[in-house]
Amino acid sequence: MKTVKATLHADRPVTEKRLDEAIERGSMRQRSSLHAVSVGFTAPSLLIHFEDGSGVMLPVHLYPELDDFQPDDFAELMIGFAGTALCHEGKDLQISIAGMISASQPLMAMAASVIASRNGRQSSAAKAEAARVNGKKGGRPRKTDIA
């Protein structure tokens, strides 16, 4: 685990360059994270829409936080925390959308499959070099049976 020491930069002046860098870091963080834009309720599920037009439907019964909700309460759910949580002001409730998705075993299995597929397609400089060397030798060496 990498340890990062916190530092206080209160004495550093804010320049145009630092402001532009901070805005760019924020934009990159927003592009790479979950960003929901709306939530709706169609019994018995919540439908959460994301910025790219995709969505996910989550059955309410998986979330004990929502057990005492009535249909009117679901209508008052809002997206908060920069698109990462569902919030209900009257019930003082904030639920992480990523946490809700992780409570669904089928969605987690699908996510694991997608990640494994994506990682399997990645090639590193070392893999590319090994492929070139093997190609010069006539291809991948054959496996030998050791008995």
Which tokens in the block code for residue 44?
């018995």
Quick one: average pLDDT of 111-136?
82
Closest listed residue to residue 88, CA positions, set 32, 131, 56, 41? 41
- Confidence tier at 31 by pLDDT (50, 70, 90): low
What value does the mean pLDDT of the chain take? Answer: 85
Supply the pLDDT for residue 114.
86
Q: Is residue 2 part of a domain?
A: no
CA atoms within 13 A on the CB side of 45: 10
CA atoms within 13 A on the CB side of 59: 7
72 to 35, 54, 87, 113: CA distances (angstroms): 25, 25, 14, 37
Q: Which residue has the tokens 């994270």?
A: 33
Quick one: average pLDDT of 134-144?
79
**Residue 89: domain span:** 36-103
User: For the chain, how many structural domains are there in total?
Assistant: 1
What digits encode the pLDDT tens for the residues 38-92?
A: 999 998 999 999 988 889 999 999 999 999 999 889 999 999 988 889 999 999 9
**Is 82 within 8 Å of 67 (Cβ atoms)?**
no
Q: Is residue 135 part of a domain?
A: no
**Is 39 within 8 Å of 78 (Cβ atoms)?**
yes
Q: Is residue 74 part of a domain?
A: yes
Q: Is residue 141 part of a domain?
A: no
**Percent of the chain whose pLDDT exceeds 90:** 31
Local structure of 89: helix, strand or coil = coil
User: Full-prediction pTM beyond 0.85?
Assistant: no
Residue 71 belongs to a domain with what CATH number? Answer: 3.30.2020.40
Q: Is residue 12 part of a domain?
A: no
- Listed ranges 14-18, 46-50, 139-143; the one with the highest mean pLDDT: 46-50
Q: Is residue 78 part of a domain?
A: yes
d(CA 126, CA 131): 9
Q: Is residue 63 part of a domain?
A: yes
CA atoms within 13 A on the CB side of 35: 11
Q: Could you check whether the bond before residue 106 is cis, i.e. omega within 30 degrees of 0?
A: no
Q: Is residue 79 part of a domain?
A: yes
